[in-house]
Amino acid sequence: MSSRPTPVELEALTHARRLALNGRGRVSPNPLVGAVVLRDGETVGEGWHEGPGEAHAEVMALADAGDRARGATVVCTLEPCSHFGRTPPCTDALRAAGVARVVIGCLDPLERTRGQGVSILRQSGVDVALAVGDDEAACREINAAFLTAAVRRRPHVMLKLATSLDGKIATADGESRWITGPDSRALVHRWRADVDAVVVGIGTALADDPQLTARNVDGPLRQPMRVVFDSHARLPLDSGLVRTAGEIPVTVFTTEAADKARIDALADRGVRVLRERGDRPHPLEAMRLLGAEGVQSVLVEGGAVLAAAFVGAGAVDLVNWFVAPILIGGADAPGALAGPGFGPLADVPRLQDVESERVGEDILVSGRLTAIPGVLGSEEGT
Ligand SMILES: NC(=O)c1ccc[n+]([C@@H]2O[C@H](COP(=O)([O-])OP(=O)(O)OC[C@H]3O[C@@H](n4cnc5c(N)ncnc54)[C@H](OP(=O)(O)O)[C@@H]3O)[C@@H](O)[C@H]2O)c1
């Protein structure tokens, strides 16, 4: 058999990626994984990972296929695990089921385990084929958060902003709700449900008093941790965030300059307050701290000052930028990124893999500021 996937297997791999997405918002800190069992080119079993402690995708697909798995091909989006975690190794399940061939979308990112699933299967006489190029990249893309956390030891950070066509995030009077239409706002709620944490600056928390919860989202819903960058612990005790801190966690990154009484008052109401050194909490340090706790994905929702700080610190991986077909105008109306800016022009951050789509009447422009980590052990750090 070929060491590269056949066209039928690549079609199954695309389907396996779709299956993997069923676990969106629930699998962290595990990866999203989908698997398909193929027999004579027909799908006879499928599965996806539903979350920590639940069966892995390969095991679910094998169970779905039953006896038809013997001599069949299993197509999975990520290298099957070869170690005991909360569940036994998938390589054991694949061998026990007597599968003849395994097609793998991308390898395990961790240096200590990477390639082991492949070699154990090959040693057992199972034919293994690895996806390459766009097919492999697509499998890495669905796990951008898992891969970033594993390789860079911090969460994957998505920056979301919404501007008028002339690049304003609010009017000169500070009015900013709503710049985008309902479809864009619904998409943001979907993203909130997908990530482990949502971050805003204290400017936004004071101006908008947001809840930062995911609302009106189909399917099982897990609320993200809400995080505020707030050097002086100014977050009001009667804010929506503080009032709901008992039900959905709120973390405030502050500094040693913050008033102890204010910190205590927030803590008394169930807010976790983390004090950092320096004038302001540093985006990358804060992200590393959250990463060490198992937070793999973060959505930064602004505002302009914090967004610029994240971009400037190299702490943004993916940009999702809504442009609404309105003109706000006004020299005093804030633009989307405050601070001194990133010139000279030759050196400003430039998005890669840029895509655009219509979302209702708005246009969503997406692009990456960092590459999704591959499996290179040398990619440690950011
Ligand atoms: N259209 C959109 O997409 C969108 C999104 C969000 C907000 N908004 C609008 O934007 C406005 C608020 O934006 P904003 O720019 O004034 O506030 P912001 O970016 O939400 O918050 C800025 C504040 O965060 C604090 N901060 C803590 N750590 C920081 C760090 N490392 N770097 C930078 N800042 C840090 C600083 O205050 P301390 O020094 O006190 O800590 C800073 O002044 C509101 O009108 C809101 O409605 C629009």
pTM here is: 0.92
pLDDT band at residue 2 using 50, 70 and 90 as cut-offs:
low
pLDDT band at residue 41 using 50, 70 and 90 as cut-offs:
very high
Check pLDDT > 80 for residue 261.
yes
Distance CA 151, CA 380 (A): 6
Find the residues whose C-beta lies inside 6 A of ligand 1.
Answer: 161-162, 169-170, 174, 176, 179, 200-204, 207-208, 229-232, 234, 280-283, 301-306, 309, 338
Check: CB of residue 91 under 8 Å from CB of residue 72: no
Ligand 1 centroid – CA 302 distance (Å):
6
Please indicate whether residue 243 or residue 302 has the higher confidence score (pLDDT): 243
Check: CB of residue 294 under 8 Å from CB of residue 28: yes
pLDDT digits (tens, 9 = 90+) for 321-368: 999 999 999 999 999 999 999 989 999 999 999 999 999 999 999 999
Check pLDDT > 60 for residue 380.
no
Task: From residue 290, give the alpha-carbon distance in Å to each of 169, 187, 286, 297, 365.
Answer: 28, 24, 6, 9, 27
Residues 6+ apart with CB under 8 A from 6: none
Is 357 assigned a catalytic role?
no
- Give the tokens for residue 71: 């001599």
pLDDT for position 1: 54
**Domain 7-142 matches domain 149-374 at the CATH topology level:** no
Question: What is the identity of the amino acid at 105?
Answer: G
Atom of ligand 1 nearest to the CA of 322: 3
Please state the separation of Cα 287 from the chain's center in Å.
13
Q: Supply the DSSP string of 93-126, one letter for each residue.
A: HHHHHT-SEEEEEE--S-TTTTTHHHHHHHHTT-
pLDDT digits (tens, 9 = 90+) for 270-306: 999 999 999 999 999 999 999 999 999 999 998 999 9
Least confident interval from 94-103, 123-132, 368-377: 368-377
Catalytic residue among 9, 11, 42, 58: 58
Per CATH, the homologous superfamily of domain 7-142 is Cytidine Deaminase, domain 2 (3.40.140.10)
pLDDT digits (tens, 9 = 90+) for 101-140: 999 999 988 766 788 899 999 999 999 999 999 999 999 9
Distance CA 47, CA 36 (A): 7
Distance CA 157, CA 370 (A): 10
pLDDT for position 376: 39
For the domain 149-374, what is the CATH code?
3.40.430.10
Where are the domains positioned within the chain?
Answer: 7-142, 149-374
